[in-house]
Amino acid sequence: MRERIGIMGGTFDPIHKGHTVIAKSVGEQLGLDRVLFIPTGNPNFKQGQKLASAADRAHMVALAIEGEPLFELDLREVERTGVTYTADTLEELTQCHEGAQLFFIMGTDSAITLPGWKRAEDVARLCTIVVAKRPGQSTQQVHDALMASTIDFDVIYLDVPQVDVSSTQVRERIARGEDASAMIPASVGAYIAQVGLYQDV
């Protein structure tokens, strides 16, 4: 039986409850053996933007997923030098987990941009795309965009619990001195306060 591995990639700046709720729901619905959380190191689509350090972001992921047997932290993108691309990561995972079936989990906002990704053909070849419907968004636009592409993506559309939170909202609340505890795991909130992240967003 092939191992079924979910992949949650992202900047996780910071990781929030929406990330973990979606990962757990997808894992249960698809019968995944594990879900890898892969923080980006130097992401292509965030060039020029100010991010918390890769070490801080990875540590927050580790705190958020602690005690959840389905979840694992994978540091390959943080440890890779240069700009990180999903296709490179998928190739490495295919080699590390020979024979496994990879499920790349993403929201509708990211999925609609897939045809324009670097080496999108390789992304399509190496994994199944799992589109998790986000609050207030329709999967129809994603479906139309992917169907209009010449690339043959294998896509699963899933309804997941709706957690209306984004990393941007978390950062802005903290910068304003407001309480963000409902949006993030308590351990992540404690780390942010301890290190002083997002005070000047």
What's phi and psi for 39, nearest 5 deg?
-65, 140
Asked if 127 and 7 count as a contact pair (C-beta separation under 8 A), the reply is yes
pLDDT in tens, 111-140: 999 999 999 999 999 999 999 987 677 889
Q: What pLDDT does residue 162 have? A: 84
* Residues 6 or more apart whose Cβ sits within 8 Å of residue 6: 23, 26, 27, 30, 32, 34, 35, 36, 103, 105, 130
147-176: pLDDT as tens digits: 999 999 999 999 999 888 999 999 999 999
CB 3 within 8 A of CB 99: yes
Rounded CA gap, 112 and 145, in Å? 6
pLDDT in tens, 31-87: 999 999 999 987 665 545 688 999 999 999 999 999 999 999 999 999 988 888 999
Output the pTM of the full model. Answer: 0.94
Q: How many residues does the chain have?
A: 201
Concatenate the DSSP letters of all residues of 100-149 into one string. PEEEEEEEHHHHTTGGGSTTHHHHHHH-EEEEEPPTT--SHHHHHHHHHS
pLDDT higher than 60, residue 193: yes
> How distant is the alpha carbon of residue 178 from its chain centre?
25
